[in-house]
Structure 1
C-alpha cells in the first residue's frame, strides 16, 4: 500500500502542471501579435466558479474562461448605438459635427427647392443646390459671382429709355452717384452746387448750394473787399442766368407777364449800381419791354392747381464758412445712404448728413445738412470712395497721397504714399484694399491697407517708339508708323481711370484709348483691347491720328459687365469672360458730350420699379441706324467664344442694373476741350434682360 505522503505530493504536482498549462494557453501567440491580434474575439462562455478544492479534472475546465470572457468584460463596443441625443453630441468629434451640420444644410436646401407640382424638381435639385453653394463661397471669398451680361438687352435706338436729368446746373457736370436703394441720384458740377434728384421721375428734390463768401479773398495778390467780391459774383451770375421765360414761367402762347419782367428789370437795376455792364443790360431789357409790352393774362384756379411744382424744391442751409467755393469733381455716397462726401478743386472734403433712416420723396426730414470739412490734403481732391458696408472713406488727391477717414467719427486714420505723379482715379469694394491710377507715372497701385503694403503694375504697351525713346535706332518711316500716322501702335502715356471687378481683378483705361484687364497674379495685363472709342478727327491732312482716351470706367461689383466712356458720343458696355481671361463688346448707349463719371447700380429686388420713363421730361435724341464701331465689333464678334451657360436662379441675377452717367461739355478736371453744342445733364438708362 503506497504511502499517503507520496499521494499528496503527486496531487499537488498535477495541479501545478495544469495551472501552468492553462496560463500558457491564455497568453497570445507571437504570430497573433505580428498579425495585429486575433481576427475575431473568442466565443463567449458562461462564467463558472473557480474552486481550488475541486479535484475533478474530467470536464477539462481549467478556470481560464473567467479571464477570457464573462460579465466583467471592459472592452469598448464601437458598434453599440448611443441611446440619447445628448450622449451622441458628447461622443462626436468636431469633424463629425461639421459633417452633420453640412448634411443638414443640404437637406434644408433640398426642402426649399423641391416643389411637388414641378415634374423636373428632382432633376434640377442637384444643379441648383450646387450653384447656390458655389455662389455662397464666391460671395464670401470676394470673387466674381454675378453673371448677367449675356442676358442684357440693348436699349432702343429711339432713345426712349435714355433719360436725362436736366435743368439744375449751370456748368459742366463732373460726377453723378445713385443711392443703393434706387431712390436718389446726386449730381455735382463745376458751379459748386450739388443737386439731389428723384430717380423715379427725374425731378429735383434738394439743392446743396455753394458756401458763403469768406470775409476777405485774395485776387491777383491783392485783398478784395466783401462788397466788390459780391458785386462781381452778382455780375457773373447774371451773365449765366437763364432767360426770363425760364425763371418767371412761360405761358402756353410763349408770352411773358409784363409786370413781372418790369419788376425784374427794376430789381436788377437797383442791385447793379457798381457795374456798368449790368446797368446797360437792365436798360436794354427795360426798353425792350416798353416797346413790346405783353398783354397781362391771369391764370385760373384750376390751371394753378394743374401746374407742376417742379421748381419748388428744398435748399439746404449752408453757413458762411461751410460748403464749397470751387469746382466739385467727385462724389461718394455710403452704402446706407446716410453720408455724402464731396471734393474737388479745394483741399478739403465736405461731409453731408442725410436726414432720416430711410428718406422718402414725401418726407421733409430728408434734407441734407452740412456736417464738417475733413482736411489733410495739400492739393485738390480727385477721387472719393466709401468702402461697401462701412463708413471708411478713401480719398485721393493731386498731392500724390491716399488718405483714410472714419466718417462716423469724423476722424483721420492714416495716409498711404507711393505714387510719383498726381492720382487721377480711385476705387474700393468691400475688403480693405484699394486700387489707384497714377496718371503720368503710368502705374496702377493695389493697396493692402491692413498689411500696409502695395503692389505696383506698370501700364503702357511696349512698342517701337518706346524702344527708341529708351535707347534705340529707328528710321523715320518706322517712327511715323509707331506714332500712328499709318495705323501703327499707340503709346499709353497716362493711366486715367480704374475700376475693381472683385478682390483680385481690376480694369484700367488710359490716354491711348486702351482698356486693360489685370490680375494680382501677373505684373502684365491679362488682356488689352486698343483704341476702344476710336480716333479724334485729324485737324489737317498730315496731322497724326489721336485716340480718344478713356475718361471713366465702371464695373458692376463682383459682376461680369462693365461700362466705359469717352467723348465719342456713346457709352460702351462690355462682357467679361467667366474665367476673367478677356472681354468683348456688348452694345453702346447714345451719350453726347464728355462722360465724366459712370456707375452700374443693381438695386435691391424689394425696391420694385425704381425708374418710370413715362414721367421724365427730357430724353436723348434717337440714334441713327448706322452702327458704331463698337457695335460692328460686337456683331462680327470673336468666333472662339464659348456659349454662355443657362442663367441660374440667384437673387442678384434676377434684377437688371441701371446705368448712371454724368455728361458734360468739358473734361472733368480741365477745360482744354469744349463742345458748345452739348448741354450738360445726368443720364439714367434702366437696362433690361432679353
Structure 2
C-alpha cells in the first residue's frame, strides 16, 4: 500500500482548509514625492533633478512594456551572473571557474543532490563560550541565525527575546517577557527569521499567537491569530515571506507575511506537532510527537507523505538537503531519511547511550544539520552533544566527537560557514517540566569547531 496520500473526499486522507476570502493583487501606482529643498540649495537644480529622475523612470517603464517574456528572462539571468561574479571577486582568493562551480552547486542544491563532504575535516573543539543575560532567566528554548550568520536570535521560557552580534558576543536588541500586569510573551517556544532578515517571528505558548517583529530592531509589527493551542514550531520558506507554523492543536498553517494574512490550514497529525522545517521548495516537513509520524506536506499537489520509524515521541526533524532529513526523539534513535523511502536509510539506536538511573535510552532533545553537507549534530537531555558524519548515499552515521555540557540541550544550530556550533541550554526541556537539572546554567553556548587544514 502506498504511503502517498492524496486529498480526496472519498478517502481518509488529509483535509485542507482554504481561506474563504479571495485576495486580489493589484499593482500600485508609483508616487513620486518631491522633497523640500534645503535653504542652501537652489529650487532650479532640484526641479532639474526631479525631471531627470522622471525621465529615467519613463524610459525604464517603456523598456519593460516593450520587453518580451524571453527577453526579460535573459536580462534577469545576465543580472544574476553579474551579481555572482562581483561576489566571487570580493573573496580573498578568486579562483578560475568559481562562477561556473557556484552555478553548478546551486543547480544541485535545487535538485536536492548537493552534498559537500566536509565532516571528516572536523577533529575537535575549542573552549565553549557562555552567553547569559537578564532577559533569559529561565531555560533557553529556541535559537535562529540570520542567513549571513552575523546575528543570533534566542528565546526563553520566561518570554525573553534577544538579538545578539555573533562576532562581538554582545546584545543588540531585547524584548522582555511578560510579568504579572505587563504586556509581553509568556514563553517563547520557537523562532524563525526570513532569509532577507526583514521579519523575525516567535511563537508564544501563553497567548497562542504568532508574533511578528522587525528583524533589525525587534519592534513588534503584528500578531497572527488562528491556532487553538500553543505554537510549537515555525519556519520560513527560503527566499520568501511564506511562513509555515505548527501547533499543539495538530494543525499546520500557511501565512503570507507580505499581506500579514492567513492562507490555509493542513490537517493529518494525530498529536501535537513538535517541529517543522522547510527549504526552497513549496513544501514543509513536520514531526507529530507521540503520533510517531513524520509528514511532508506538498502544498501545490495538495498531498502528504507519511514516514514511520520511531518507537516514541519524535522531538525534532531537520532537512539536510531537499531530498534528505534527520530526526530524533525520546526513544534515543537518530534517523536519516530519504524523501522517496518509507523507512529510514539508516538508524542509530541509543545514539547517546542509556540513562544509568533507569536503563532507558537517553532522550535526544535537539538536532542540527549543516545544509547540503555530510555534517550533523545531536544534543541530549544530559548535556551531551555529538557530531556525526553522514556516510555515502546517507546510509550510515559515523560519530566524530562529543561535547559535554550540563542541562537540557534544547536547541542547536551551525553557523553558515560551519566554524561554530551554537547550543541553547536549559534546566528544563523546552516543551515541559518533566525533569529539572538544578546545576545547569540557562545560557547560550558558542562552541568553536576545529578543522584540519585542507588544500
- Following TM superposition, by how much is the alpha carbon of 1:387 offset from its aligned partner in structure 2, in angstroms? 1.3
User: Retained in 1: the 8 A contact 2:204–2:211?
Assistant: no
Q: Secondary structure at the match of 1:153?
A: strand
- Following TM superposition, by how much is the alpha carbon of 1:530 offset from its aligned partner in structure 2, in angstroms? 0.4
The equivalent position to 1:502 in structure 2, one of 316, 321, 327, is 321
**TM-score with structure 1 length normalisation?**
0.50
User: Retained in 2: the 8 A contact 1:164–1:202?
Assistant: no
The residue aligned with 1:598 is: 412
Task: Tell whether 2:14 aligns with 1:164.
Answer: no
User: Retained in 2: the 8 A contact 1:656–1:688?
Assistant: no
The residue aligned with 1:582 is: 396
1:434-471 alpha-carbon deviations (Å, 9 max, x no partner): 111111111111111111110011123xxxxxxxxxxx
Tell me, in whole angstroms, the C-alpha distance in 1 between the residues paired with 2:102 and 2:441. Answer: 46
Tell me, in whole angstroms, the C-alpha distance in 1 between the residues paired with 2:106 and 2:232. Answer: 35
The equivalent position to 2:423 in structure 1, one of 661, 667, 684, is 661
User: Retained in 2: the 8 A contact 1:173–1:189?
Assistant: yes
- Following TM superposition, by how much is the alpha carbon of 1:172 offset from its aligned partner in structure 2, in angstroms? 1.2
1:33-60 alpha-carbon deviations (Å, 9 max, x no partner): xxxxxxxxxxxxxxxxxxxxxxxxxxxx
- Following TM superposition, by how much is the alpha carbon of 1:576 offset from its aligned partner in structure 2, in angstroms? 1.1
Structure 1 residues 519 and 140: alpha-carbon distance in aligned structure 2, compared to 1, 3 A threshold: closer
User: Retained in 2: the 8 A contact 1:144–1:560?
Assistant: no
- Following TM superposition, by how much is the alpha carbon of 1:493 offset from its aligned partner in structure 2, in angstroms? 1.9
Tell me, in whole angstroms, the C-alpha distance in 2 between the residues paired with 1:180 and 1:196. Answer: 14
Is the deviation greater in 375-384 or in 579-588? Answer: 579-588
Tell me, in whole angstroms, the C-alpha distance in 2 between the residues paired with 1:339 and 1:415. Answer: 21
Structure 1 residues 411 and 584: alpha-carbon distance in aligned structure 2, compared to 1, 3 A threshold: same
The equivalent position to 1:385 in structure 2, one of 235, 240, 245, is 235
Structure 1 residues 596 and 185: alpha-carbon distance in aligned structure 2, compared to 1, 3 A threshold: same
Tell me, in whole angstroms, the C-alpha distance in 2 between the residues paired with 1:664 and 1:415. Answer: 32
Tell me, in whole angstroms, the C-alpha distance in 1 between the residues paired with 2:156 and 2:149. Answer: 21
Task: Please report the RMSD computed on the Cα atoms of aligned residues, expressed in angstroms.
Answer: 2.7
Tell me, in whole angstroms, the C-alpha distance in 2 between the residues paired with 1:174 and 1:405. Answer: 23
Q: Secondary structure at the match of 2:381?
A: coil
User: Retained in 1: the 8 A contact 2:370–2:418?
Assistant: no
The residue aligned with 2:164 is: 197
1:366-397 alpha-carbon deviations (Å, 9 max, x no partner): x3210010010000011011111111111100
Trace 1:55-74 onto structure 2 (pairs within 5 A): none
Task: Tell whether 2:213 aligns with 1:352.
Answer: yes
Structure 1 residues 594 and 196: alpha-carbon distance in aligned structure 2, compared to 1, 3 A threshold: same
- Following TM superposition, by how much is the alpha carbon of 1:135 offset from its aligned partner in structure 2, in angstroms? 2.9
The equivalent position to 1:145 in structure 2, one of 106, 109, 115, is 115
Task: Tell whether 2:182 aligns with 1:182.
Answer: no
The residue aligned with 1:329 is: 189
1:628-671 alpha-carbon deviations (Å, 9 max, x no partner): xxxxxxxxxxxxxxxxxxxxxxxxxxx44421211001000111
Structure 1, unmatched stretches of 5+, are: 1-104, 113-120, 213-228, 231-319, 356-366, 461-491, 539-543, 603-654
1:315-336 alpha-carbon deviations (Å, 9 max, x no partner): xxxxx6x642x21111111112
Bigger helix fraction: 1
User: Retained in 2: the 8 A contact 1:666–1:675?
Assistant: yes
User: Retained in 2: the 8 A contact 1:196–1:206?
Assistant: yes
Tell me, in whole angstroms, the C-alpha distance in 1 between the residues paired with 2:353 and 2:395. Answer: 23
Rg comparison, structure with higher value = 1
- Following TM superposition, by how much is the alpha carbon of 1:550 offset from its aligned partner in structure 2, in angstroms? 1.3
**TM-score with structure 2 length normalisation?**
0.74
Tell me, in whole angstroms, the C-alpha distance in 1 between the residues paired with 2:318 and 2:202. Answer: 19
Structure 1 residues 493 and 136: alpha-carbon distance in aligned structure 2, compared to 1, 3 A threshold: closer
Structure 2, unmatched stretches of 5+, are: 1-80, 89-94
Structure 1 residues 378 and 336: alpha-carbon distance in aligned structure 2, compared to 1, 3 A threshold: same
The residue aligned with 2:350 is: 531
1:101-127 alpha-carbon deviations (Å, 9 max, x no partner): xxxx9xxx9xx9xxxxxxxx9xxx99x
Q: Secondary structure at the match of 1:564?
A: strand
Structure 1 residues 354 and 425: alpha-carbon distance in aligned structure 2, compared to 1, 3 A threshold: closer
1:340-379 alpha-carbon deviations (Å, 9 max, x no partner): 1111313111000134xxxxxxxxxxx3210010010000
Structure 1 residues 131 and 390: alpha-carbon distance in aligned structure 2, compared to 1, 3 A threshold: closer
Tell me, in whole angstroms, the C-alpha distance in 1 between the residues paired with 2:116 and 2:184. Answer: 39
Q: Secondary structure at the match of 1:579?
A: helix
- Following TM superposition, by how much is the alpha carbon of 1:131 offset from its aligned partner in structure 2, in angstroms? 6.5
1:104-162 alpha-carbon deviations (Å, 9 max, x no partner): x9xxx9xx9xxxxxxxx9xxx99x99976753431232323333212123114xx2xx1
